Amino acid sequence: MASDMMDALMALCQEKHIDQLYLIDRLEQSLAKSYAEILHLDWGAKVTIDRSNGKIYVYKLIPIDDSMDEEGNYTEWEEIDVTPRDTSRIAAQHAKAEINAIVRNSAREQIYEEFSGRIGDLISGTVLQSTPDFTIVKIRDGVEAELPHFDQRRYENERNERPQGERYLHNQRLKAVIIDVRDPNSTLQPVRGEHSRPPIVVSRTHPALIKRLFELEVPEIYEGTVEVKSIAREPGMRSKVAVRSLDDRLDPVGACVGPKGSRVRTVVSELRGERVDVILWDADPAVYVANALSPAKVTRVLIDEEKNYAGVIVPDDQLSLAIGKEGQNARLAARLTGWHIDIKNETLAADILKNVPVPAAPAEDLIYEDDEDLEPERCAYVDEDGVRCRNQSRPGSRFCGVHDELVMGEPGADIIDDADDLI
């Protein structure tokens, strides 16, 4: 009987990857407490299990008088063999519950060691069970995760990691990010029902989910050529993602959107229709704020760095678009940029602009300037017949590419300073 129990314990240790010495030590401690109560031992008991044959020995502990320390505790004990005849039967009764507890705790420890360093990683699994408070997701055999969606009006200390409007069916494939792994040996107060819930906690509302999904769909982000600078999200509704390119030749927004929007469409599909705006990050806060308010066009942005304030002026017909439904667009832009944004239309801001000095380079303040309204400067070359060249001048020069090098050497060539002088 004892030998059979030992064989069963060894087989269990191999199957569950549990240390044999640890399991036997825990079982000895549990049996010692049980025998101390059964045999009414005042000073407790000590139990030893023979590792070779599984035979159990029970010893009565009697303190040695001269072994008391300064605090009045005995440090040495005399052990008297009081092993009963039915030790195997009693051991089998207590071993079952103890072994189950050890197996559960060991499995949670292994999961903690494996997944505690993977917080923020994307996982994919299938829905096993969905309750009003949480959904159980199977990552692989023996490993499950919890996606909580508690009603926080009733459970203030619980989490809601499910986007608004999402519902999950049995065996449905699901992607989520790991946000927590419960430590089985933690001394903190456990949450409600923690021991019966999976140790891994995942989320579908965390901003990291969007970043991980883009890494799957956009090779440039995975390789590091395109960097995701910031994410602002209202789960289930709308998100804004700011990106920049480490390669000047690469358009980061185009890379994320993909050919005909294929890449961003895949991300939106995984997010169950949540709208995703990809905007260009800029080191200039004025440009960054203007980009973040996309799709609205911005006339001017006034930055107050001391107050972390951005005053935005938009055309009258763009005000509602810049603010968004229930202020959503402005709210997401503020979260994305980290600036307090105040939006006004041009009519209301007219009086304010009168008192604002015009900057030396106003083009830097005009975020969305229509280049078609600006007439390019014409070449200043005039031939012998008095006809002015109709070509556009080169950057940094008053002449076009044809006349830039020739004008200085042609005696008949004239240069006009004002186009109004032409007849």
pLDDT tens for residues 325-336?
999 999 999 999
Domain coverage including residue 67: 2-113
b (16+ CB within 10 A) / e for 45-73: bbbbbeeeebbbebbbbeeeeeeeeeeee
Do 274 and 287 belong to one domain?
no
Question: Tell me, what's the pLDDT at 321?
Answer: 94
Is the pLDDT score of 151 beyond 80? Answer: yes
% of the chain residues with pLDDT over 70? 82
Is the pLDDT score of 384 beyond 50? Answer: yes
pLDDT bucket at 215, cuts 50 / 70 / 90:
very high
Is the pLDDT score of 126 beyond 70? Answer: yes
Amino acid identity at 358: V
At residue 418, the 3 state secondary structure works out as: coil
Residue 233 to residues 329, 330, 410, Cα–Cα distance (Å):
11, 12, 64
pTM, full prediction: 0.68
Q: Per the structure, how many domains does the chain have? A: 5
Average pLDDT over residues 2-7: 70
Do 125 and 109 belong to one domain?
no
Q: Can you say whether residue 84 is alpha, beta or left, with left for phi > 0 and alpha for psi between -120 and 50 degrees?
A: beta
Question: CA-to-CA distance for 220 and 278, rounded, in angstroms?
Answer: 15
Do 12 and 72 belong to one domain?
yes
Residue 264 to residues 46, 233, 247, 256, Cα–Cα distance (Å):
66, 15, 21, 6
Average pLDDT over residues 180-190: 80
Do 339 and 239 belong to one domain?
no
Do 103 and 133 belong to one domain?
no
Across the chain, mean pLDDT equals: 82
Is the pLDDT score of 381 beyond 80? Answer: no
Question: CA-to-CA distance for 416 and 405, rounded, in angstroms?
Answer: 17
Residue with tokens 């009414």: 40
Q: Decide if 37 contacts 56 (C-beta within 8 A).
A: no
Question: CA-to-CA distance for 12 and 99, rounded, in angstroms?
Answer: 9
Question: Tell me, what's the pLDDT at 303?
Answer: 92
Residue 165 lies in a domain: yes
Which of 281, 303, 331 corresponds to the end of one domain?
Answer: 281
Question: Tell me, what's the pLDDT at 373?
Answer: 47
Which of 87, 113, 139 corresponds to the end of one domain?
Answer: 113
Question: Tell me, what's the pLDDT at 326?
Answer: 92
Do 145 and 242 belong to one domain?
no
Question: CA-to-CA distance for 382 and 403, rounded, in angstroms?
Answer: 10
Residue 211 lies in a domain: no
Question: CA-to-CA distance for 41 and 59, rounded, in angstroms?
Answer: 10
Residue 213 lies in a domain: no
Question: CA-to-CA distance for 131 and 150, rounded, in angstroms?
Answer: 10
Question: CA-to-CA distance for 229 and 207, rounded, in angstroms?
Answer: 12
% of the chain residues with pLDDT over 90? 45
Tens digit of pLDDT for each residue in 284-318? 999 999 999 999 999 999 999 999 999 999 999 99
Question: Tell me, what's the pLDDT at 162?
Answer: 94
Which of 165, 172, 171, 132 is closest to 148 using CA atoms?
132
What lies within 8 Å, CB to CB, of 268 at 6+ separation is 274, 275, 276
Residue 229 lies in a domain: yes
The number of CA neighbours under 13 Å toward the Cβ of 311 is: 12
Do 78 and 181 belong to one domain?
no
Residue 52 lies in a domain: yes
Residue 214 lies in a domain: no
Average pLDDT over residues 353-381: 54
Tens digit of pLDDT for each residue in 59-85? 998 888 777 777 778 788 888 888 887
Do 287 and 343 belong to one domain?
yes
pLDDT bucket at 171, cuts 50 / 70 / 90:
very high
The domain spanning residue 326 has which CATH number?
3.30.300.20
Do 292 and 275 belong to one domain?
no
Average pLDDT over residues 104-130: 89
